[in-house]
Amino acid sequence: MSAQKLIFLYSDSTFTPWKENIFGSTIATFLKATPDSYYPYVTHFVGFTTEFADFLKQFDVVFNVCYGFGEAGQADIARWLDSHAIKHTASTYEVQILAKDKMNLPQICEEIQVKTPPIIELSDVASLEYERYIVKHRMGSLHLNMLVFDASEIPYQTLMEKEDYIIQPYITGREFTVGVIPNEDGTDYMALSPLEIRPDDNREVYIAGQAYGVTEKILNPALEESIRQEIMQKVLTLHKTMKIRGMSRTDIRIHNGEIYVLDINTMPNLDARSFLPSIALNEGIDLKELFRRILLMTQSAFSYELRAVSYEL
């Protein structure tokens, strides 16, 4: 059987809205990790044109690691690919927007009985009993341009100048990130063991990505087995409920014994320095095996959709 044609679709970090970790060196690593049953090609995203769509249609599958182009985000890329019926590995536009808009998370979590910090109106901040708050972009990266403030020092002027943001209580406690990937035969999803994001000292305020001081990645953190399993099960349920395709990574915190979901990423970075590859490798799943599983799940998903359409006809 001849190898299928796979093309890695990407935009260099410079061209992505949130400056994701993807560079020429990242793509070189991807090429080496391509499963043996695929022949790899590479293309940089060049624009939303019919000609480019026709070019991509020549390939059996597009491995979508394009996190945006110019002002267009990764969800816009997925919508364009979907609109041209191009088979790709990422979640659909609808799913990505569902996850990207943090206003949606409380309702999603409530439906599956998972806790998440409530969203607070600015006018209510002074009257509530929370000691500290965090301000996040409503859309986009969780770890960039965030603001933490004490309830006793509300920065009204700064907040009034911001656009499209949300305010939540700042949840203290241990923070973990959990990856979800396809299982070995691509028939279902599995949660990987949590990685802890720990401040390099004992401070209460910290954010992954070093915005509020240095943090460390701790593989195999000390956790009671029952808590570890509960974290993994809740994150896996969230992934499946949202109908995410391929992989995801969810940030959570444990506060007073309760698990709180902070954010879910439907297209985790796959650069060697990023979380998901490290978490997977810690469980014996290297990049080549991860790619094999994602591609197997993608092929199965599109085959199912094709059968469903044929049945309707």
pLDDT at 10: 98
Q: Please state the domain count of the chain.
A: 3
Q: Does residue 237 share a domain with residue 132?
A: no
Element (H, E) at 93: helix 93-100
pLDDT at 304: 53
pLDDT digits over 205-221, tens only? 999 876 688 999 999 99
Do the domain assignments include residue 296?
A: no
CATH number of the domain enclosing 244 = 3.30.470.20
Q: Does residue 164 share a domain with residue 259?
A: no
Report which DSSP code applies to 59: S
Do the domain assignments include residue 134?
A: yes
Do the domain assignments include residue 105?
A: yes
Do the domain assignments include residue 126?
A: yes
| Distance from C-alpha of 38 to C-alpha of 2, rounded to nearest angstrom | 9
User: Could you tell me the residue range of the domain that residue 137 belongs to?
Assistant: 122-169
268: tokens are 């985790």
pLDDT digits over 224-253, tens only? 999 999 999 999 999 999 999 999 999 999
Do the domain assignments include residue 38?
A: yes
Do the domain assignments include residue 294?
A: no
Amino acid making up residue 295: L
pLDDT digits over 86-137, tens only? 999 999 999 999 999 999 999 999 999 999 999 999 999 999 999 999 999 9
Q: Is the pLDDT score of 306 beyond 50?
A: no
Q: Identify whether the C-beta of residue 119 lies closer than 8 Å to the C-beta of residue 262.
A: no
138: tokens are 């409503």
pLDDT digits over 126-173, tens only? 999 999 999 999 997 666 778 999 999 999 999 999 889 999 999 999
Do the domain assignments include residue 305?
A: no
pLDDT at 309: 40
pLDDT digits over 9-38, tens only? 999 999 999 888 899 999 999 999 999 999
Q: Does residue 108 share a domain with residue 48?
A: no
Q: Does residue 15 share a domain with residue 154?
A: no
pLDDT at 47: 98
Do the domain assignments include residue 28?
A: yes
Summarize the confidence of residues 71-100 as an average pLDDT. 97
Of 76 and 1, the one with more pLDDT: 76
pLDDT at 305: 54
CATH number of the domain enclosing 82 = 3.40.50
Q: Does residue 207 share a domain with residue 186?
A: yes
Q: Does residue 155 share a domain with residue 191?
A: no
